[in-house]
Structure 1
Amino acid sequence: MVTVTTVFPGQGWQARLVKRLLNNDKLQLWLGLAFAVLLPSLVSRESLLWQTAGPTQWLTFLLTTLAYWCSMTTVQRMGRLPGTCVHRLSIPVTSVCFAIPYAVVLFLERELLDELYLAGYLLTMLYGTAGYRIGRHYRVLKLGVVPFGKAPSLCQNHGVEWHSLGTPELGNVGIDGVVADLYDDLPPEWERFLADCTLHRLPVYHATTTLEWLTGRVQLGYLYENRYGSLRPDEGYEMLKRCLDLLTVLATLPLTLPLMVITAIAIRLESRGAVLFTQQRMGFQCRPFTVYKFRSMYTHQQGNGYTEDSEDPRITRVGKVIRKYRVDELPQLFNVLKGDMSLIGPRPESMDLASWYQKDVPFFHYRHVVRPGISGWAQVEQGYAAEVDGMNRKLEYDFYYIKNISFWLDLLIVLRTIRTVLTGFGSR
């Protein structure tokens, strides 16, 4: 029987306890609640003791608790997704979670203790940024690699400390889990080793699955391991997603419509031709649909059906600006209302490109199992790509999104889309 010893070199049980506490999400929630909500409520001039607290104090306390809990839970859920820095999410997520209850209270004309609510907001933001930033030292993932199959070739870099296991034991190597090619024919002693790891509650991960949640991509070469069923998104969430799409578009139209009017005027003043550009694209379940975009090119010049590079001479001056900041995509909100598209999903490709990719890119049509989106996981992670090699990588991101579609992943894409709009990342 192999003995699994998970200790840190030169450290004892105290170090292991500290690391477990820092990586315990529930404990972090409760400690933050005491720091950001309870502490300011008890030391404020308006005490929250039962004998003195009134309706205004309790309403402030309850809303602060609700906003704190929502912000921290959201940050923790999104922090489990590939490539996310938890401390960077804290400021935008906390701001939104505290702003929404405050706006509702103002709308209902109720009173709050503004100083106490502001203190809760600032302390929550401080706890989420400084606390998680300090904890990053203890959150470096350390994984042991079983030296068989494709595990050694896949498990490299990605911000992880990899430890190649020469023998079926851990010794004094402190690790958070073991990665193995579970489809490979492992020797009996290594199978017993993995079983003992499980018995001692040390996680055992399959190599390709590990690569997926580290990189945010499903490698095409290993797609057969996922089976076709794993690429079928949750139908319940699809219904919820459709409702959220409609509500979001209708709620933002008062802001986006004036911007669309200004853009349309600028396009007409600069060059002759229609304001809108329409094109047949491959949509949900491979059904073609007409996509709407603001025209960003001169009408008298012909191209290849896609943008070749950022210096394409067909692009107008207004077109360069609206492409960089994604304003040209705004008419696609009407595609969302029609049901052709979603706010979040794989990018819809033109019929010509779709035919081209179908010949050269394996599994390309599987990406149409969900509605195409205005923004998506591949867009915010990679940017624009038209060549086959770029589409292969983009398709890996698309398959990860389809396989792991969820509210939290969509919310992360929304935040990164905002960053993309502000920075112009991936424009073409």
Structure 2
Amino acid sequence: MSVNFSPAIVRRGLFHSLRFEIACILVIGVALPLMSLALIEGGVSSDPAGALEWATQPAVVNSVLGVTICACVSLAILRRLRFFPGVAVAKSILPVLAIVFGVFVAAIAVFRLEYSNKVILTCFFAVLVVRFAIAAVRTKAKGLLYYLVPGGRVHLVGELRSAPILLLQRPSLDRLPDCAIVADLYADLEPEWERFLAEAAISGRPIYHYKQVWEAETGKVQIEHLSENGFGALVPSFAYQKMKRAIDLGLSILAMPFILPVVAVCALAVKLDSNGPVFFRQRRMGFRGREFFVLKLRTMTEGHAGEDRNLSITQHGDKRITRVGGFLRRTRLDELPQIFNILRGEMSWVGPRPEAVSLSAWYEAEIPFYRYRHIVRPGISGWAQVNQGHVADVVDVNEKLQYDFYYIKHLSYWIDMIIVLRTVKVVLSGFGSK
């Protein structure tokens, strides 16, 4: 395994450092726009005190504090997004900034604070430009550079093509560039390689178990056995699950006035397009292995309750799909009635998709640990759906389960946010629909 890297790749650390980002965001994204506004609004050419007078106005002070906090929060979110696989950070910049600044504007309205439109808008666009500039600079450098310690199953990382990788030839830190070191920490390594890892750790270099890198670069979890989370436990965070349930309820209540008219229009289209009921209910396997009836808009000429495995599988070009049903499936509008499942506590906005009871029983018989995916609430959109799309046979389900286990292992608001952002792209592109 051999890859050649230019010096620019080895010295990429500056552009990926937190200090570089903070400096760019605060200086170019906040300070320079404010100085420009002070020159314009304060009339500094005729009266130097005018700029100071303008800058100390309550509306300006409130706005400056707000945009500074927004810039820092968006920086933290986007840096976190870089550690999740398959996420094009550049595509997340505008949505993240819009959400963060939107929350700030909402806070202004709720608390009736004085504010300056010019400061908020100018800094928003300045931070936006800086974020895209940083992303553009980073495209000239590869991601994290990995050096592999030979031995064990580290070769699985060497087969990846998503990151620059080199194999260490000797256990020495001499002339080793800025990099991360990857090893199979459970393997019986030679004593010289054990000493090398200890020395590398003392020197401050990041050292990863091969499994961490493989999961981070693929977005999947190997499922030869159950995979513990970062706390060494099989049970995801109860605190976050309770918080997530509260968020699900709040969002559902807020979304109801907007979703119900859309569902009504879609229901009318379904009724006019083909004979049969507007909605259909199907038995699915849900949270903690409890069965429930999922509610969807009907998209097929034939309904099924979920007991028949063959009827539960949607094939490519399935002739049962109606004309309106095809559109509803591509746009995921057929899933909107599941907001009632969320209100009842049977589902979440984000989580592994619930399977028909017949398919779940089949998969449990074929795939070890399949039932473990029921440890979290199923969702309307999930990590597997935004990465893989619709699946049918056991081979694809095995890969889907790797995505589901990755989501469960890393269950947090960060990965939920990524799924929400990527779901928008999935809906617009029709990715993975059948």
The TM-score, its normalising length taken from structure 2, stands at 0.90
CA–CA separation in structure 2 for the residues paired with 1:206 and 1:303: 40
Q: Deviations over 1:148-170 (max 9, x none)?
A: 11102333224211111122124
Q: 1:407 maps to what in 2?
A: 413
CA–CA separation in structure 2 for the residues paired with 1:299 and 1:10: 60
Q: Deviations over 1:62-114 (max 9, x none)?
A: 22222222222211122221122222211111122223323444566655332
Structure 2 gaps of 5+ residues are: 43-49
Q: 2:17 maps to what in 1?
A: 24
Q: Deviations over 1:159-206 (max 9, x none)?
A: 211111122124434241111111111111110011011011111111
CA–CA separation in structure 2 for the residues paired with 1:205 and 1:164: 14
Q: 2:301 maps to what in 1?
A: 298
164, 167, 170: which one pairs with 1:167? 170
Q: 1:3 maps to what in 2?
A: none
Query: Helix, strand or coil: the match of 1:304?
Result: helix
Report the alpha carbon displacement of residue 411 of structure 1 after superposing the two structures with TM. 0.4
CA–CA separation in structure 1 for the residues paired with 2:426 and 2:169: 44
Report the alpha carbon displacement of residue 49 of structure 1 after superposing the two structures with TM. 5.5
15, 26, 37: which one pairs with 1:33? 26
43, 46, 71: which one pairs with 2:41? 46
Alignment of 1:32-111 (within 5 A): 32-44=25-37, 45-47=40-42, 50-52=52-54, 53-105=56-108
Q: 2:124 maps to what in 1?
A: 121
Query: Helix, strand or coil: the match of 1:159?
Result: coil
326, 331, 339: which one pairs with 1:320? 326
The question of 1:198 aligning with 2:198 is answered no
Q: 1:231 maps to what in 2?
A: 234
Query: Helix, strand or coil: the match of 2:293?
Result: strand
Q: How many residues align?
A: 418
Q: 1:332 maps to what in 2?
A: 338
Identity among equivalent pairs (%) = 37
CA–CA separation in structure 1 for the residues paired with 2:309 and 2:177: 57
214, 217, 242: which one pairs with 2:217? 214
Contact 2:94 2:128 (C-alpha < 8 Å) held by counterparts: yes
Q: Deviations over 1:210-239 (max 9, x none)?
A: 101111110112546879953311111111
CA–CA separation in structure 2 for the residues paired with 1:404 and 1:152: 24
Contact 1:90 1:129 (C-alpha < 8 Å) held by counterparts: yes
Change in Cα spacing, 1:161 to 1:170, as seen in structure 2 (3 Å) is farther
Change in Cα spacing, 1:10 to 1:402, as seen in structure 2 (3 Å) is closer
Contact 1:155 1:207 (C-alpha < 8 Å) held by counterparts: no
Q: 2:46 maps to what in 1?
A: none
CA–CA separation in structure 1 for the residues paired with 2:256 and 2:392: 31
CA–CA separation in structure 1 for the residues paired with 2:126 and 2:88: 19
146, 149, 155: which one pairs with 1:146? 149
Q: Which amino acid aligns with 1:67?
A: C
Q: 1:4 maps to what in 2?
A: none
Moved more, 62-71 or 252-261: 62-71
Q: Deviations over 1:271-300 (max 9, x none)?
A: 121111101111111111111111101137
CA–CA separation in structure 2 for the residues paired with 1:364 and 1:154: 25
Q: Which amino acid aligns with 1:377?
A: W
Report the alpha carbon displacement of residue 50 of structure 1 after superposing the two structures with TM. 4.7
Contact 1:143 1:175 (C-alpha < 8 Å) held by counterparts: no
The question of 1:423 aligning with 2:418 is answered no
Change in Cα spacing, 1:351 to 1:9, as seen in structure 2 (3 Å) is closer
The TM-score, its normalising length taken from structure 1, stands at 0.91
Contact 1:279 1:291 (C-alpha < 8 Å) held by counterparts: yes
CA RMSD of aligned residues (A): 2.5
Change in Cα spacing, 1:9 to 1:267, as seen in structure 2 (3 Å) is closer
Q: Which amino acid aligns with 2:41?
A: E
Q: Which amino acid aligns with 1:39?
A: L
CA–CA separation in structure 1 for the residues paired with 2:236 and 2:21: 31
CA–CA separation in structure 2 for the residues paired with 1:180 and 1:253: 50
CA–CA separation in structure 2 for the residues paired with 1:84 and 1:242: 25
Contact 2:15 2:134 (C-alpha < 8 Å) held by counterparts: no
Moved more, 295-304 or 278-287: 295-304
Structure 1 gaps of 5+ residues are: 1-7
